[in-house]
Amino acid sequence: MAVAGALKFAPLILWMYLCLQMKDGSRRRILLLIPYSGVVMVILSALAYLTEYTRQLLWRADRLGGTFQYSNTMALYLLTGIHVLCYSEPSEDKRGRNLRAAAIIVLCIGLLLTGSRSILLLAAVWALVTAVRKDSLRKGILIMTASMIALIMAYVLISGSYQNIGRILTLFSNNSTILGRILYVKDAVRMLMIHPFGLGWQGYYRLQPVLQHGVYTTRYVHNEYIQTALDLGIVPAIILAGYIIWQIVRGRQGEAEKGILILIAAACLMDFHMQYLSIGMMAVLCLDLQQDQGSMKTKQGTAAENIILAAIPLLVFAYFFIAFASFRLGADEYGLRFYPYYTDAKLRLLERASSPEEAVRLAGEVTDLAPTASRAYVHLASAASLRGDTGAMCENMDKAIECARYDVDCYRLYDTLIEDAVARGDLSSEETRRLTTIRDSLPQRLSALKEDTDPLAFKLRDVPVFTF
């Protein structure tokens, strides 16, 4: 997945190159797009809620996700938009002031509809700090904060629902999500002790079932700094964190830009916001790149040179766009013609395999790409069982359980496969005893796993099961 990860974040390098050539005024004008694009997203999402099909695109569990399709990052974007409007130069005419006030109201309503507890807490801290530091904004922020609190209370009292607008009130009463994220971090730190030089993009997700100490599935650890360490290694993560701190403490940006950096840096302690390129682009836009008024000088190339330089990255991105768009649309076989190393696509094909031979071939390809893919070993074990190879069956089921420690279905399947193999009656007495011993040991494995499980795991919504 290293190629996919590099391609995903490569646009940030191109964006930084463009920012190096911008004047401060140009960068500030781009920042003003944030709040008004946020307003458009909130309005479009509200309209999308009216139909079932569009609702499932822009809403998640009745929470506003917008075009991010993730409520917490949508909330961060909206809070950033509020910050930009509050710190931008006020308009001198009444129409401009009214437009800004209306935009802030829409952004605040959108922020509540996301139900993002972490960003609402961050918004409360932001409001307090801004009210203390900016006398001109104090009255407006107090009114805005009081109105949001009143809206939350009214919504809960009238509807009786604690979803979206009222979700902030479940911060201390419904703590499965919070405890789950603490467990993610604990397991991630354990993983870093074993792999201090990183696992590559998505490596954490692949290795997670092997080293986790509770029942959960997450692609990201919900802490961007730890995620960077998991992807690139501890040293690059420390360098990145140090650079961000330097930018905040010593950077020459304006107050608005530095505030955005602080908001993003703080939010990344609680979620994986940088996985969305627009958040990374906002952060880059607010960096002090040590250039004076866009003074980066570039050699003026000929028309042919410019076309070639532009065409190379365009062709590369177009090639991989075809591959990943195909995966996204479910055309896995077509996408694999362009990029044959996408594990998720091969796993989907494996589940749809039409014959044992095809399943064995695809499972072998999957284990070559992702040695911790439990489902691939399950298919290999099932195929071995069909041909009466109990040795390969047990070997692959042991690997399947090792790669999915809390998947009780694997233990159940292992038990069934052994039962069927013994029932056929064509095994030697020695092999029968060996299989019976393995079958009897399965409950003991689960008991040992229970001892190794983190206490937090028993407080989550998905409680581990140790019987089958």
Structural domains present in the chain = 12-171+274-289 (no CATH), 175-250 (no CATH), 332-459 (1.25.40.10)
- 172: CB partners within 8 A, 6+ apart: none
Q: What is the pLDDT of residue 221?
A: 93
- 324: CB partners within 8 A, 6+ apart: 4, 335, 339, 342
Q: Is the pLDDT of residue 4 over 70?
A: yes
- 90: CB partners within 8 A, 6+ apart: 96, 97, 100
Answer whether 4's CB lies under 8 Å from 28's CB.
no
Q: How far apart are CA 37 and CA 44, in angstroms?
A: 10
Q: What is the distance, to the nearest Å, from the Cα of residue 236 to the centroid of all Cα atoms in its chain?
A: 20
pLDDT tens figures, 416-443: 999 999 988 888 889 999 999 999 999 9
Q: How far apart are CA 55 and CA 51, in angstroms?
A: 6
Q: How far apart are CA 348 and CA 344, in angstroms?
A: 6
Angle between helix axes 374-386 and 408-423 (nearest 10 degrees) is: 10
Q: Is the pLDDT of residue 295 over 50?
A: no
pLDDT tens figures, 65-109: 999 999 999 999 999 999 999 988 776 677 888 899 999 999 999
Query: Which two three-digit tokens encode residue 379?
Result: 């298919």
Q: Is the pTM of this model over 0.75?
A: yes
Q: How far apart are CA 305 and CA 324, in angstroms?
A: 29
Q: Report H helices in 424-454.
A: 429-452
pLDDT tens figures, 188-230: 999 999 999 999 888 999 999 999 999 999 999 999 999 999 9
Q: Is the pLDDT of residue 13 over 50?
A: yes
Average pLDDT over residues 34-47: 96
Q: What is the pLDDT of residue 291?
A: 55
Answer whether 71's CB lies under 8 Å from 114's CB.
yes
- 309: CB partners within 8 A, 6+ apart: 301
Query: Which two three-digit tokens encode residue 302?
Result: 């000929």
- Going by pLDDT thresholds of 50, 70 and 90, the confidence category of residue 161 is confident
Q: What is the pLDDT of residue 136?
A: 84
pLDDT tens figures, 136-155: 888 889 998 999 999 888 88
User: Which of 1-15, 48-62, 253-267 comes out lowest in average pLDDT?
Assistant: 1-15
Average pLDDT over residues 110-134: 93
Q: Specify the 3-state DSSP secondary structure of 370.
A: coil
Query: Which two three-digit tokens encode residue 158?
Result: 């009238």
> For residues 402 and 313, which has the higher predicted lDDT (pLDDT)?
402
